[in-house]
């Protein structure tokens, strides 16, 4: 009787141990791959409580969550021969657990190496202006370059690639600063010249409008005097008719006046003498 109890207890313990070794828990974010004597048995196991054959089977769990890895700063030369340092972030996840375990060893490190080499290759085909201004295009090219060798052979899907920072040399930063300053100065000059052009056109239109009404000049003059007088200053403004200046345009008009001509266009002798006397008052006094 004692021997039967011992045997029953031993059998129960063995059964419990075998049951414990055959039960596996697969989480919602995981998939299980079963290897029987070293060979893959069927497809991936879905989440839940799964049973395997003890000793013969071995289950490996693979996380299906999105993994984020940071690409260390990489020195590269752009297409226009500018040396810079670029770092990035890669987002990827497993889409085929069997390929991840069978076709590649340490797939996380493999993705990192592919990301480094692909980033150098893409930057080498891109110029500096595109890298700084069109970041979306560079990210798309990086994603395609990293996803090509990893999706089909390794069962990985690269969801997103982002360039974090672009470190430029100090000399290039100074050159870009001078270029930006020159561009801003050029725009300022263009805007100022355009403003002068528009002001000149407006002034020309105003002058044509005022020329149609002679009295408008006098009104404008009075308005200017009123504006000056409104300020608290000691400036004295005295309007001076512009027409008076016309008398000083040709000094000595009487001295340069030609003698009148006869009806047939010829100058008579008496008219010539009178003109000469008018031109030389000293000779008349003599």
Q: Per-residue pLDDT for 283 more than 70? A: no
For domain 67-168, give the CATH number. Answer: 3.30.479.30
Distance CA 72, CA 86 (A): 8
Domain extent listing, the chain: 2-63, 67-168, 170-248
CA proximity to 74, closest of 114, 130, 105, 129? 114
CA atoms within 13 A on the CB side of 242: 4
Q: Quick one: average pLDDT of 92-109?
A: 90
Any idea of the CA torsion for 37, 41, 45, 51, to the nearest 10 degrees? -50
At 281 the pLDDT is 47
At 210 the pLDDT is 75
DSSP, residue by residue, 38-85: TEE-SSPBPSEEEE--TTTEEEEEEE-S-EEEEEEEEEEE-TTS-EEE
Q: Per-residue pLDDT for 272 more than 60? A: no
Structure tokens at 3: 């021997």
Span 70-98, pLDDT tens digits: 999 888 888 888 888 899 999 999 999 99
> What are the C-alpha distances in Å from 138 to residues 119, 144, 154, 178?
9, 10, 24, 26
Span 14-57, pLDDT tens digits: 778 877 788 888 889 999 999 988 888 888 888 888 888 888 88
At 188 the pLDDT is 92
Span 126-152, pLDDT tens digits: 888 888 888 889 999 999 989 888 888
| Helix (H), strand (E) counts: the chain | 10, 8
| Element at 188 (helix H, strand E) | helix 170-211
């Amino acid at each position: 009787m004692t021997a039967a109890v011992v045997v029953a207890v031993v059998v129960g313990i063995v059964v419990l141990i075998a049951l414990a070794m055959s039960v596996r828990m697969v989480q919602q974010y995981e998939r299980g791959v079963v290897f029987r004597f070293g060979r893959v048995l069927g497809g991936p196991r879905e989440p839940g409580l799964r049973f395997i054959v003890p000793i013969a089977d071995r289950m490996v769990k693979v996380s299906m969550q999105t993994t984020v890895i940071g690409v260390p700063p990489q020195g590269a030369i752009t297409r226009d021969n500018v040396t810079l340092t670029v770092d990035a972030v890669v987002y990827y996840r497993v889409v085929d657990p069997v390929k991840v375990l069978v076709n590649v060893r340490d797939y996380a490190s493999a993705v990192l190496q592919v990301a480094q080499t692909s980033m150098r290759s893409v930057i080498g085909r891109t110029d500096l202006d595109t890298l700084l201004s069109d970041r979306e295009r560079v990210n798309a090219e990086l994603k395609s370059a990293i996803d090509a060798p990893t999706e089909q052979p390794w069962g990985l899907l690269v969801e997103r690639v982002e360039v974090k920072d672009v470190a430029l040399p100090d000399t290039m930063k100074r050159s870009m600063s001078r270029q930006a300053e020159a561009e801003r100065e050029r725009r300022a000059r263009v805007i100022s010249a355009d403003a002068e052009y528009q002001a000149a056109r407006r002034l020309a239109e105003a002058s044509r409008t005022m020329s149609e009404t002679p009295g408008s000049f006098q009104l404008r003059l009075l308005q200017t005097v009123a504006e000056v007088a409104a300020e608290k200053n000691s400036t004295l403004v005295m309007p001076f008719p512009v027409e008076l200046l016309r008398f000083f345009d040709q000094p000595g008009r009487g001295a340069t006046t030609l003698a009148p001509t006869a009806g047939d266009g010829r100058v008579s002798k008496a008219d010539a003498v009178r003109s000469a006397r008018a031109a030389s008052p000293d000779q008349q006094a003599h």
